[in-house]
Structure 1
Amino acid sequence: MKKTMMMMAVAVMALTAACTGKKTAENAAAQDTTSVVDSTATPSLDLAVVAGTYEGTLPAADCPGIKTVLTLNTDSTYELKQDYIDRKDGHDEASGVFEVLDGKVLMLVRPSSGEHTFYKVKDAQSVIMTDSLGNEPESDMAPLYVLKKKN
């Protein structure tokens, strides 16, 4: 069934290309040009501007907060230190690499587990913790998810 549908799709595409009066190579070139324009539309993030140490206290469900220190480096590496306030053995550290997604979202990858954490660059002085799509928190607590650059 799938082979039949695939053959029909190929046949329809071939007929469409033949009926337009344009050569297939010209159509492919036009599509390539379009995709190049689309891929360059997303502005890139200047890591030299973003690099630095960011600090703040993030909300937590089981303690008063998580004191967080995030250091971003120009070589796309990071260090993350977190202290869970009023919790015994509540210290966590991680380091690894980060990727820039959609121009402003940083995906921190924890090498030991493959776990991802996401921060969005608000401006040159702050980042905010987001979900995997870069959506910022919307509640009254949203400002509590912001880490400020240490000068």
Structure 2
Amino acid sequence: MGDWQERTYEGVLPAADTPGIRYTLTVRNREYSGDGTFVLAMTYLEAENGKDETVTYTGRRFTQRGSADDKDAVVWQLVADDDTVFNFLLSKEGTSLTLLNDKFEKPQSGLNYTLRLVQ
């Protein structure tokens, strides 16, 4: 299965009621395995009386094939321990992730929903 790999992606994504949500996603998996684990910290900027509020999810990462736009796309599906599901489109280079909806579609708003590889 190969050596263990750990990568971290970060970005500030749009939010309805705050200046944004800072995502810090760390994924861990074996080099030749599509599955693994994750820790996702979502910090809601200026959420409660001007103070940031962080929610953390942990769980399993699964690799799916195909999105609404591309049958060959690689989508990481994160299933948290509380059954919350997040879907991210992995760029071909592996340097970014774009948040998708539950139908594996990109947001139509034109806003930036991308996390960048930081390590």
Q: Could you state the TM-score of these two structures normalised by the residue count of structure 1?
A: 0.61
Match of 1:87 in 2: 47
The Cα shift of 1:130 comes to: 0.3
The Cα shift of 1:136 comes to: 1.3
Write 1 or 2 for the structure with the bigger share of strand. Answer: 2
Runs (4+) of structure 1 exceeding 3 A deviation are none
Write 1 or 2 for the structure with the bigger share of helix. Answer: 1
Percent identical: 27
Which blocks of at least 5 consecutive residues in structure 1 are unaligned?
Answer: 1-47
SS of corresponding position for 1:86: strand
Which blocks of at least 5 consecutive residues in structure 2 are unaligned?
Answer: 31-35, 66-72
Q: Which one of the candidate residues 83, 99, 104 is aligned to 2:74?
A: 104
Distance in 2 of aligned mates of 1:127 and 1:51: 15
The Cα shift of 1:90 comes to: 1.7
The Cα shift of 1:51 comes to: 4.6
Structure 2 counterparts to residues 3-22 of structure 1, below 5 A: none
Whichever of the two has the greater Rg, that structure is: 1
Instruction: Report the count of equivalent residues.
Output: 101
Match of 1:115 in 2: 84
The Cα shift of 1:116 comes to: 0.7
Q: Could you state the TM-score of these two structures normalised by the residue count of structure 2?
A: 0.76
The Cα shift of 1:133 comes to: 2.8
Match of 1:61 in 2: 16
The structure whose RCO (Cα within 8 Å, separation 6+) is larger is: 2
